[in-house]
Chains A and B, each alone.
Chain A
Amino acid sequence: MNAITGHWTRIGTISDIPVKGARCVKLGTKTIAVFRTVKDEVFALEDKCPHKNGPLSQGIVHDNCVTCPLHNWVISLSTGEAQGADEGAVRSFSIKLEGDDILIDIRSVSG
């Protein structure tokens, strides 16, 4: 069953994403990067670095951050905010695990 429970949409299972890696979810013209950390937590950010729109899904994931592949900005996975001296933030989306399933809150995406 392609479960839509309330506003939550299932996008896959946690094993679809490599540990310390990311996958993309396409939504129209928008791309959402879904990350899996070393502790098997999942996070979702728009796949656009606040600096020069670099694809964050292609970066190196470490602790709860990702380093953008274009110019090494470090972005917090939980807040979407740039770390250190850099300033800026990318949109983050509500996401949760139910068992192995990853669910994303569509409302938060479309809003």
Chain B
Amino acid sequence: MTEKLVIIGNGMAPGRMLEHLFEREPGKFDVTIFNAEPRVNYNRLMLSPVLSGEKSYEDIITHDDAWYASNGVTLHKSARISSIDRDAKTVTSENGITAPYDKLVIATGSNPFIIPLPGHDLEGVLTYRDLDDVDAMLTAAKTGGRAVVIGGGLLGLEAAAGLKMQGMDVTVLHLMPTLMERQLDDAAGYLLKRAFEERGIDVLTKANTKEILGKDGKVTAVHLDDGTEIDASIVVMAVGIRPSVEIAKQCGLEIGRGILVQDDMRTSDPDIFALGECVEHRGEVYGLVAPLYEMAERIAENLCGGDALYTGSVMATKLKVTGVDLYSAGDFADAEDREEIVLRDAKAGIYKRLVLKDNRIIGAVLYGETNDGPWFFDLLKKNTDISEMRETLIFGQAFQGGAPLDPMAAVAALPDDAEICGCNGICKSTITNAITGKNLTSLDDVRAHTKASSSCGTCTGLVEQLMSLTLGDKYNPAAIQPMCPCTDFGHDDVRRLIQVKGLKTIPEVMHELEWKTSCGCAKCRPALNYYLVCDWPDEYADDYQSRFINERVHANIQKDGTYSVVPRMWGGTTNSTELRAIADVVDKFNIPTVKVTGGQRIDMLGIQKEDLPAVWEDLGKAGFVSGHAYAKGLRTVKTCVGTDWCRFGTQDSTGLGVRIEKFMWGSWTPAKVKMAVSGCPRNCAEATCKDVGVICVDSGFEIHFAGAAGLDIKGTEVLGLVAAEDEALEHIVALVQMYREQGRYLERIYKWAKRIGYDEVRRQIMDDPSRRRHFYDRFVFSQKFAQVDPWSERVSGKDKHEFNPMATLGLEAAE
């Protein structure tokens, strides 16, 4: 019979344990998880980027609901365990769920320590531990004001930097004279303090908080014992964590600072393991992810009948604040039998400190330049005697053995068992073997197969260098390309910052993101204008001067400065009245060329700019609207005649094409969008090379996407099959909205979809109805503001200046 495994807690450590378990013996256990948090397993190390707005919650999910389902795991969310009955071998949750176990793993993690100051229970006093805390901080940040962060350690500083990026004023209070005094000496602490002050964050050291003041139950200020009072709309306590042991204590397990375990990770009850931050092992309590992952692996093995032993870990950590490089590893407390080597360059903002004992590195702190961190850490873990290279040790790996090496050579020189990814304990050879053995070519492949760089991401550079070394020219690292020379931010960063900072005009974006030019350039301005139109459809006023000429005058500029005009013919259908009107316009305005386009439209070329409003007026009288043949937006939906006429037609392809076009015209997109609907798989509308295509079949509508037939030629990918026309429309609209929200300006659908993954598109559009519906609803909302015929607007006088000369001077004036 399958044994029952119950896990209390759903953090990173038990998540990793389950991965090992399912790899080792899938199906051995019937697994039930109780999670006090109302969600799946996510990467807690990445909370700081979520707080700063550089990532979203979705980006940091480790196991989604589908993962639990496919592994047969029962996950109870929002179910905190209230008791363990060791005799009956059951656990019971606060919301009344009881589950029996054969083996139990307690992974309750830790609780933030709250200093019991007067006022600590006021509303607005927060901790920094899980996503709920981040959400609370983000909510508070929306109303602005000042955040006071108590605690100048890793977590406190990350919280301070994140809150500052969210637009709050921030003060950090630290009890000791310098920041991170356990890791840094006075001088390095000063460098760090200065780096934070340069970001506009106030840092008060030797600041002893006396009480937190409030009004109507809500925090208003912080009072220090020297009499200083600091206004505060929120207070974040980040002064440390304590293992969460209550539940273990209650059922009589042995407790020290944490839940006591032996080397086999069993508690005092052999059927109960403890894992993660709640554990005390050989007198140590761990708060970093690498040792927790080691424990997780041992437990997985022991659950399968093994006798793996955990013998403790040394740890390295990095401060995850963008732009501040700080790395520390091992033990750096002062003691008599220890020596130090320190390198300091205050002007360059560099500080390096190695703590030695018996000619071996036992601790390392690097500030400002952290590339040698893994090398020092490797020497530390291997207990290498460094006396031979002591003179030059502090200068790093590049200085050993004569000539300085380039960074690639330094990585090449690392031994095979050098640890590259500290979070996941992945060494160099594991990565290089996976690259060659499994033909991996992208960073995501390497992450998926080895886990390297998939947790905190700080080793990404090293992993990429390994890929370059192993693959040579075949590897093309995806460095972030700045949008244009006006900024260092890439498109994705800019899009996200527009949202998280609530930026609503182009000058505001340029100011907040520190553009290097006074008003951008022809690359960034149209992109920003699109992003703002897309994100704030009801609030943003289109910036006409940031549009390329074609979108400004709603026609296509030609090589001689004349324009071409393409009226909309819904689904490629027309009639005698329309054709007659076109013929009349061609005659009246002496239009030299009339051409049928690939998208089933009629194009009139060679029209003088001054004539455009009059041309549109005549076309408008015949019922035409703009065909948007010039737009980064919906261009055409090409159709075949379908069941109306064709003996092979399976559905009303013309009708669906017209319906899609009437629904979606006027919408702006990152790049042009061309669609087609074919009435049967003979595909006369050529739907399988379009941005979005539909192939009608007897059983419904096969939706395609990400085709191309221009610079690149590419057949579409299948999104999925739906039965009804209404569903087809909803899926297509949702897909386009997803692209509108995520695509980079000028990036066609096929490039966007390749970048984020076809499966990801299917997952969000086909498999997640509520997400699909939200995309659909947002598109419909934005259409309220977008579906205005630009031609009739201009016929009625809008932008009149555009079509007339400012002055016409007689030649005599010049003589």
A95: shortest Cβ distance to chain B, in Å?
A: 12
Q: By the criterion CB–CB under 8 Å, are B806 and A34 in contact?
A: yes
Q: By the criterion CB–CB under 8 Å, are A67 and B807 in contact?
A: no
Q: By the criterion CB–CB under 8 Å, are B545 and A20 in contact?
A: yes
A27: shortest Cβ distance to chain B, in Å?
A: 5
A82: shortest Cβ distance to chain B, in Å?
A: 14
Given A21-B545, A34-B806, A58-B557, decide whether A63 and B519 contact each other with a Cβ distance below 8 A.
yes
Interface 1/0 per residue, A29-70 and B, CB below 8 Å: 001001000110000000000001111001111110101011
Given A25-B807, A58-B561, decide whether A38 and B549 contact each other with a Cβ distance below 8 A.
no
Q: Which single member of A18, A62, A72, A107 contacts B801 (CB below 8 Å)?
A: A18
CB neighbours of A97 from chain B (8 A) = none
CB neighbours of B809 from chain A (8 A) = 9, 11, 25-27, 106
Given A27-B811, A38-B518, A60-B526, decide whether A70 and B559 contact each other with a Cβ distance below 8 A.
yes
What is the total number of residues of chain B having a CB less than 8 Å from a CB of chain A?
30
Bound complex: CA A70 to CA B814 (Å):
30
Q: By the criterion CB–CB under 8 Å, are A69 and B557 in contact?
A: yes
B558: shortest Cβ distance to chain A, in Å?
A: 9
Which residues of A65-109 have CB atoms within 8 Å of chain B's CB atoms? 65, 67, 69-70, 72, 74, 106-107, 109
Q: By the criterion CB–CB under 8 Å, are B805 and A24 in contact?
A: yes
Q: By the criterion CB–CB under 8 Å, are B518 and A18 in contact?
A: no
Q: Which single member of B517, B801, B813 contacts A16 (CB below 8 Å)?
A: B801
CB neighbours of A55 from chain B (8 A) = 557, 561
CB neighbours of B519 from chain A (8 A) = 20, 38, 62-63
Q: Which single member of A19, A27, A53, A62 contacts B517 (CB below 8 Å)?
A: A62
Q: Which single member of B518, B520, B806 contacts A17 (CB below 8 Å)?
A: B806
Q: Which single member of A17, A21, A28 contacts B811 (CB below 8 Å)?
A: A28
CB neighbours of B526 from chain A (8 A) = 60
Interface 1/0 per residue, B542-584 and A, CB below 8 Å: 0011101110110001011100000000000000000000000
Q: By the criterion CB–CB under 8 Å, are A60 and B525 in contact?
A: yes
A41: shortest Cβ distance to chain B, in Å?
A: 12
Q: By the criterion CB–CB under 8 Å, are A25 and B808 in contact?
A: yes
Q: Quick one: closest B residue to A71, CB to CB?
A: B559
Number of chain A interface residues as a range: 35 or more
Which residues of B507-535 have CB atoms within 8 Å of chain A's CB atoms? 517-522, 525-526
**Is B815 close to A, CB under 8 A?**
yes
Q: By the criterion CB–CB under 8 Å, are A12 and B545 in contact?
A: no
CB neighbours of B808 from chain A (8 A) = 25-27
Q: Which of A31, A63, A65 has the most CB of B within 10 A?
A: A63
CB neighbours of A107 from chain B (8 A) = 814
Q: By the criterion CB–CB under 8 Å, are B813 and A4 in contact?
A: yes
A50: shortest Cβ distance to chain B, in Å?
A: 15
CB neighbours of A11 from chain B (8 A) = 806-807, 809
A58: shortest Cβ distance to chain B, in Å?
A: 4
CB neighbours of B545 from chain A (8 A) = 18-21, 60-61
CB neighbours of B814 from chain A (8 A) = 27, 106-107, 109-110
Interface 1/0 per residue, B31-70 and A, CB below 8 Å: 0000000000000000000000000000000000000000
Given A11-B809, A12-B807, A17-B806, decide whether A60 and B518 contact each other with a Cβ distance below 8 A.
no
Q: By the criterion CB–CB under 8 Å, are A74 and B522 in contact?
A: yes
Q: By the criterion CB–CB under 8 Å, are A70 and B557 in contact?
A: yes
Q: By the criterion CB–CB under 8 Å, are A16 and B806 in contact?
A: yes
Given A12-B806, A24-B805, decide whether A60 and B522 contact each other with a Cβ distance below 8 A.
yes
Q: Which single member of A16, A21, A72 contacts B522 (CB below 8 Å)?
A: A72
Given A18-B544, A38-B519, decide whether A9 and B813 contact each other with a Cβ distance below 8 A.
yes
Interface of B is mostly: mixed
Bound complex: CA A72 to CA B549 (Å):
12
Q: Quick one: closest B residue to A27, CB to CB?
A: B809
Q: Quick one: closest B residue to A47, CB to CB?
A: B561
Q: Which single member of B520, B544, B552, B805 contacts A23 (CB below 8 Å)?
A: B805
Bound complex: CA A74 to CA B557 (Å):
18
Bound complex: CA A24 to CA B306 (Å):
84
Q: Which single member of A34, A39, A60 contacts B548 (CB below 8 Å)?
A: A60
A57: shortest Cβ distance to chain B, in Å?
A: 9
CB neighbours of A69 from chain B (8 A) = 548-550, 557
Q: Quick one: closest B residue to A84, CB to CB?
A: B485
CB neighbours of A26 from chain B (8 A) = 805, 807-809
Q: Quick one: closest A residue to B524, CB to CB?
A: A62
Q: Which single member of A34, A72, A110 contacts B815 (CB below 8 Å)?
A: A110
CB neighbours of A19 from chain B (8 A) = 545
CB neighbours of B546 from chain A (8 A) = 20, 60
Q: Which of B526, B548, B805 has the most CB of A within 10 A?
A: B805
Q: Quick one: closest B residue to A55, CB to CB?
A: B561
CB neighbours of B813 from chain A (8 A) = 4, 9, 106
Q: Quick one: closest A residue to B545, CB to CB?
A: A20
Given A11-B806, A16-B806, A23-B801, decide whether A62 and B522 contact each other with a Cβ distance below 8 A.
yes
Bound complex: CA A59 to CA B814 (Å):
27
Q: Quick one: closest A residue to B808, CB to CB?
A: A26
Bound complex: CA A12 to CA B518 (Å):
26
B532: shortest Cβ distance to chain A, in Å?
A: 16
Q: Quick one: closest B residue to A65, CB to CB?
A: B521
Q: By the criterion CB–CB under 8 Å, are B559 and A52 in contact?
A: yes
A26: shortest Cβ distance to chain B, in Å?
A: 4
CB neighbours of B553 from chain A (8 A) = 58
Q: Quick one: closest A residue to B546, CB to CB?
A: A60
Interface 1/0 per residue, B778-815 and A, CB below 8 Å: 00000000000000000000000100011111010111
Bound complex: CA A11 to CA B813 (Å):
12
A24: shortest Cβ distance to chain B, in Å?
A: 5
Q: By the criterion CB–CB under 8 Å, are B522 and A23 in contact?
A: no
A32: shortest Cβ distance to chain B, in Å?
A: 9
Given A38-B518, A58-B561, decide whether A25 and B525 contact each other with a Cβ distance below 8 A.
no
Q: By the criterion CB–CB under 8 Å, are B521 and A67 in contact?
A: yes
Q: Quick one: closest B residue to A68, CB to CB?
A: B522
Bound complex: CA A74 to CA B485 (Å):
14
Bound complex: CA A39 to CA B517 (Å):
13
Q: By the criterion CB–CB under 8 Å, are A25 and B806 in contact?
A: yes
Which residues of B597-621 have CB atoms within 8 Å of chain A's CB atoms? none
CB neighbours of A18 from chain B (8 A) = 544-545, 801
B27: shortest Cβ distance to chain A, in Å?
A: 60
Q: Quick one: closest B residue to A34, CB to CB?
A: B806
Q: Which single member of A25, A27, A59, A74 contacts B549 (CB below 8 Å)?
A: A59
Bound complex: CA A109 to CA B811 (Å):
10
Bound complex: CA A74 to CA B525 (Å):
15
A60: shortest Cβ distance to chain B, in Å?
A: 4
Bound complex: CA A38 to CA B630 (Å):
26
B549: shortest Cβ distance to chain A, in Å?
A: 4
CB neighbours of B559 from chain A (8 A) = 52, 70
Which residues of B266-285 have CB atoms within 8 Å of chain A's CB atoms? none
Bound complex: CA A39 to CA B522 (Å):
17
Q: By the criterion CB–CB under 8 Å, are A62 and B520 in contact?
A: yes
Which residues of B246-288 have CB atoms within 8 Å of chain A's CB atoms? none
Q: By the criterion CB–CB under 8 Å, are B517 and A63 in contact?
A: yes
Q: By the criterion CB–CB under 8 Å, are A24 and B549 in contact?
A: no
Bound complex: CA A46 to CA B815 (Å):
18
CB neighbours of B815 from chain A (8 A) = 110
Q: Which of A31, A34, A69 has the most CB of B within 10 A?
A: A69
Bound complex: CA A59 to CA B521 (Å):
11
Could you list some 20 contacts between A and B, CB below 8 A?
A11-B806, A11-B807, A12-B806, A19-B545, A20-B545, A23-B801, A24-B805, A25-B805, A25-B809, A55-B557, A55-B561, A59-B549, A63-B518, A63-B521, A67-B521, A69-B549, A69-B550, A70-B557, A106-B814, A109-B814
For the complex of A and B, list the 5 residue pairs with the smallest distance between their C-beta atoms, beginning with the closest.
A67-B522, A23-B806, A110-B814, A20-B545, A60-B522
Known interface pairs A60-B521, A60-B526, A109-B814; 9 further A-B residue pairs with C-beta atoms within 8 A, sorted by A's residue number? A21-B545, A38-B519, A58-B549, A58-B557, A59-B549, A63-B517, A63-B519, A63-B521, A107-B814
Residues of B participating in the A interface, judged by any CB pair closer than 8 Å: 517-522, 525-526, 544-546, 548-550, 552-553, 557, 559-561, 801, 805-809, 811, 813-815
